[in-house]
Amino acid sequence: MTLLSLILLQRVFLVLLLFLALDCSKKLQKEDFLIRILINIFSVQKLNRKLVHITIGLVFMLCWPLFGNGRWAPFYAAFIPGVNILRMFVIGSGILKDEATVKSMSRFGDYRELLRGPLYYAATITLASMIYWRTSPISIAAICNLCAGDGMADIVGRRFGSEKLPYNKNKSYAGSIAMASAGFLASIGYMWYFSSFGYMEGGWSKVIGFLVVSVITAVVESHPISTDLDDNLTVPLTSILVGSMVF
């Protein structure tokens, strides 16, 4: 084989390697693009789930004055989330199939998850309506810290939570501060909202009480025990327990 033939073969081989490298690069770019699309879709789904988490309870509380002043008003109000408790139980037990509900309310698409967080969420709103109602700051603290506080903790923590807590690497300073702030501000807003209807009296003592409840609840939510048990359970329980002592 002549020197010229060797040079030609070498160049052909280099050209083939170049085309192979370009083809692999395009495939990797396509795969990377698909992965980014999947990540974005997953992030949007989590954001939508958290927005639902924030708004349902808060919007429902806005409607409490519509139930009138009758003796059975809190029970009429509690009936609505109470039906949702039954719904979560039926779907979470596998008796009824509802993929749309499972996707919107579960973290990993497992229908059995509805027997934990979503069930605790509906139970909190039901019991707050039936037992404490709109005349008690405890109902405001429980729902506002669960909805506004816990919801904002996740959203802010994922976006700005680079500094993790020393006792829980899954929680961040930003998320905990956002939870305490959002729960506190929402509680103050609903205190003045219900006081405008004459259901309760606003004042600085209640403002300080809401601050204490929101801060302690945020600390409990950041503890690993909340991850083990479910923060939809520990957050309202802490709000009710601390609220019973400060109000």
Structure confidence at residue 135 (pLDDT):
94
Report which residue type is found at 103.
Answer: K
Structure confidence at residue 94 (pLDDT):
86
Structure confidence at residue 14 (pLDDT):
47
Structure confidence at residue 8 (pLDDT):
46
* Residue 133 region by backbone torsions, left for phi larger than 0, else alpha for psi between -120 and 50, else beta: left
**DSSP-derived 3-state class of residue 171:** strand
Q: Give the dihedral of Cα atoms 195, 199, 202, 206; nearest 10 deg.
A: -140
What sign results for the dihedral spanned by CA atoms 119, 123, 243, 47?
positive
Mean pLDDT by 10 residues, the chain (247 residues): 47 50 50 43 59 89 92 93 91 86 78 88 94 95 95 89 90 94 96 94 94 97 89 95 95
- Give the predicted TM-score (pTM) of the model: 0.79
Element (H, E) at 172: strand 168-172
Write out pLDDT tens, residues 201-243.
Answer: 989 999 999 999 999 999 999 999 888 888 999 999 999 999 9
Helices 150-160 and 231-246 pack at an angle, to 10 degrees, of 120
Structure confidence at residue 114 (pLDDT):
87
